[in-house]
Amino acid sequence: MGEIATSNRQITLFYNSDSVRAKQTLVYAETEGFPIQKRDMLSAPLTGTQIAEIATRLDMKIEDLVNQDHPKYTSQFEHHDLSDDDWIKMIRHHPEIMKQPIAIRGDKTILVETPTDIIKI
């Protein structure tokens, strides 16, 4: 059992409140009537354990959770070959560079690419 509490009855949505895609996903999910637990990563940053758990649930490497095309990443960082701990520290200090929104329902986790992806969960 991981650190992130999940339920088959609701979707936990990890998102960046400044993201247009996240806002559209929330509106779409609410319009469809899905019960949503909102987790804004800017106001409540993820722990290192939660970041690692999300990567595992998505079957991704932690470094693949970083949006290396994000303006904050490209302006402050160069492509690096970092350890998992260093990637986690980078995400924790700059949550806006993490790919999102991420939806979790029960044992299923998806990275939402388009707002309508939320129906896949």
Domain assignment present for residue 4? The answer is no
Number of Cα atoms under 13 Å in the Cβ half of residue 71: 1
74-98: per-residue pLDDT in tens? 788 777 788 999 999 999 999 999 9
56-80: per-residue pLDDT in tens? 999 999 999 999 888 788 788 777 7
Does the pTM surpass 0.85? The reply is yes
Domain assignment present for residue 108? The answer is yes
Q: Which domain holds residue 81?
A: 11-120
Overall number of domains in the chain? 1
Segment 31-53 shows an average pLDDT of: 94
Domain assignment present for residue 89? The answer is yes
The pLDDT score that the predictor gives to residue 109 is 96
DSSP 4: S
Domain assignment present for residue 48? The answer is yes
* pLDDT, mean over the chain: 92
Which of the pair, 101 or 119, is modelled with greater confidence? Answer: 101
Domain assignment present for residue 40? The answer is yes
CB atoms within 10 A of CB 58: 16
Q: What CATH number corresponds to the domain at position 101?
A: 3.40.30.10
Domain assignment present for residue 2? The answer is no
The pLDDT score that the predictor gives to residue 88 is 96
In this model, does residue 106 exceed pLDDT 60?
yes
Domain assignment present for residue 49? The answer is yes
Sheet strands (E) in the chain: 11-15, 36-40, 102-105, 108-111
Domain assignment present for residue 5? The answer is no
Distance CA 98, CA 5 (A): 20
